[in-house]
Structure 1
Amino acid sequence: MAATNGFTDDLMLRYLVPEHVKSLLVPGTDPQRERVRSLLVSVYAPASLDIRSVESVEVVHKEFQTAVHASVAVHGSWDKAIPTTEQARATIEIPATPPVHWIDMSLETVVVVKAARADSLLASVKAEAAWAAADGAGARQDAFERPYQLQYAQPPPFEPTAPARSLPLRVSALFFDRLDLADALRRLNQAKRAVDAASPQPAAHDGGALLASSAWLAVFPSTATDEPSRTTEQLVGDLLAIQGYVAAFETAP
């Protein structure tokens, strides 16, 4: 459960201003828009969709302190003896009160990108050289065992002048008033599982199946401005990236 603190309150007040939300997603120090790219690839598999550039980001909906109820079920068995040698058994599910996870800021965005397909398409199926088939059941067995060669075509080359495409992207942000990585990862993991369980199965897009219901952004207070602090922020970002999350650092107002 998210703790109530001044840092969270300050960030909610800051992100009332649309320009501040935009600068969180696309910082001025990020001309290549790597933060948005990282958020995208946590949802859209880079193995099937090669994002070449981010053209724009639009926030279409914003919500603070969204409650997500984790689904919990208690399983049990009930046995009853009946007047014969048989036995009846039934399995029941008793719903329990689920824990609540709070998303500090939920964003529904549309990201316009230039992208190319990265996966190969099946071009042809070719059977191996013909064989002398036996009559009857032997012929049918050979037909099932006959090897095939699958040939894949190269994905089409990226065309920079092709129209851009719009990708819907949900961003779930958690605010942390201090740099406690163990606590941050636990909260992120718990909240992500709850959101994925509570959300409908992500629909597939023409580049492949989606990896998750939402991209996740962890916002920490900025440290000092000397070189060691920047190194720390980079290491924190690298650690969270391994888990599929994106880190951001903000100065409290």
Structure 2
Amino acid sequence: MSATIPFTDGLMLRYLRPANVKALLLPATDPERERVRSLFASVYDPSFLDVRTVESVDVVRTEFQSAVHASLSLHGSWDKSIPTTEQARATVEIPATPQVHWIDMSLETVVAVKAAPAGGLLASADAEAWAAAGGAGAPQGEFERPYQLQYEDPPPFDPAAPARRLPLRVSTLFFDRLDLVDALRRLSQAKRAVDAASPQPEVHDGGTMLASSAWLAVFPATATDEPSQATEQLVGDLLATQGFVAVFETAP
């Protein structure tokens, strides 16, 4: 491949091959499959779905350069006093073309996971124990609920149980240079647009899904020495605080 091909264009050509997409999600250097686990945890709340192992990832569909149009919501009100009649008029200017966010690569995947139950069943509701424990600090007022709820311990994780197959959308942005300000802004804006344009996340395992999609940011890897590796780790840590996963790839 010619070295004159831009980094982002070269990535699209690279990921035309399903094996390269699979290697992006499940790299050989990641035997514990932490990358997929991080992507999964950004959509499925870990407090309700305690994933212990990732068994497999199947890529169902790959799409390049998907357009997501930013939505615009308008709210207003009109009041009328009786018996007099009042009229209010307002002028609102809306851009003819809404802002478009481009997703460099969208993946529809199915992830097979083995998960431990994250919560137990309700065992008892004890009014006296709650009053004794709360004392003067117990909640007061019209909606007081003087009960202390006791839950059973969740059943232990069974590694022999069948894996669960769950859908996971992965939205990927390509960056031709390491510019963290630009990357975080683009990722945040695109995430908001996708969440707004997608159906409301379903309730799963007792908790609401955190987002419509997991997000992957691909940057060029510049070197293999220790300072560069440390920088890549710090970049990954920074993006993780915002729910994104960073990947560094060599130029195609």
Contact 1:111 1:167 (C-alpha < 8 Å) held by counterparts = yes
Structure 2 partner of 1:166: 165
Contact 1:62 1:108 (C-alpha < 8 Å) held by counterparts = yes
Contact 2:48 2:205 (C-alpha < 8 Å) held by counterparts = no
Instruction: State the number of aligned residues.
Output: 236
1:147 corresponds to 2:135? no
Q: Offset at 1:179? A: 0.2
Pick the structure with greater CA Rg: 1
Q: Offset at 1:92? A: 8.1
- Once the two structures are superposed, the pairs formed by residues 140-219 of structure 1 within 5 Å of their partners are 147-206=146-205, 208-219=207-218
Q: Offset at 1:89? A: 3.5
- Name the CA distance, whole Å, in 2 between partners of 1:59 and 1:51: 19
1:48 corresponds to 2:21? no
Give the letter aligned to residue 7 of structure 2: F
- Name the CA distance, whole Å, in 1 between partners of 2:87 and 2:222: 64
RMSD in angstroms over aligned alpha carbons? 2.7
Q: Offset at 1:204? A: 1.5
Structure 1 partner of 2:250: 251
Give the letter aligned to residue 218 of structure 1: A
Contact 1:54 1:114 (C-alpha < 8 Å) held by counterparts = yes
Contact 1:76 1:92 (C-alpha < 8 Å) held by counterparts = no
Structure 1 partner of 2:69: 69
Contact 1:217 1:247 (C-alpha < 8 Å) held by counterparts = yes
Q: Offset at 1:7? A: 1.0
Contact 2:78 2:88 (C-alpha < 8 Å) held by counterparts = yes
5+ residue gaps in structure 2? 130-140
Structure 1 partner of 2:12: 12
Identity fraction in percent: 73
Structure 1 partner of 2:87: 88
Distance 1:143 1:196, change over 3 A: closer
- Name the CA distance, whole Å, in 1 between partners of 2:31 and 2:79: 65
Q: TM-score, normalised by structure 2?
A: 0.85
- Name the CA distance, whole Å, in 2 between partners of 1:230 and 1:144: 55
Contact 1:74 1:93 (C-alpha < 8 Å) held by counterparts = no
Q: TM-score, normalised by structure 1?
A: 0.85
5+ residue gaps in structure 1? 130-141
Structure 2 partner of 1:112: 112
- Name the CA distance, whole Å, in 2 between partners of 1:110 and 1:16: 19
Provide, for residues 5-28 of structure 1, a one-character-per-residue CA deviation record: whole Å limited to 9, x for no partner.
811110000000000000000111
Distance 1:157 1:79, change over 3 A: closer
Structure 1 counterpart SS, 2:29: coil
Contact 1:117 1:156 (C-alpha < 8 Å) held by counterparts = yes
- Name the CA distance, whole Å, in 2 between partners of 1:155 and 1:176: 43
Structure 2 partner of 1:136: none
Provide, for residues 168-204 of structure 1, a one-character-per-residue CA deviation record: whole Å limited to 9, x for no partner.
1000000000000000000000000000000000112
Give the letter aligned to residue 203 of structure 1: E
Q: Offset at 1:47? A: 1.0
Give the letter aligned to residue 212 of structure 2: S
Structure 2 counterpart SS, 1:196: helix
More strand by share: 1
Provide, for residues 111-142 of structure 1, a one-character-per-residue CA deviation record: whole Å limited to 9, x for no partner.
1011112134322223338xxxxxxxxxxxx9
1:234 corresponds to 2:233? yes
Give the letter aligned to residue 246 of structure 1: V
- Name the CA distance, whole Å, in 2 between partners of 1:92 and 1:46: 46
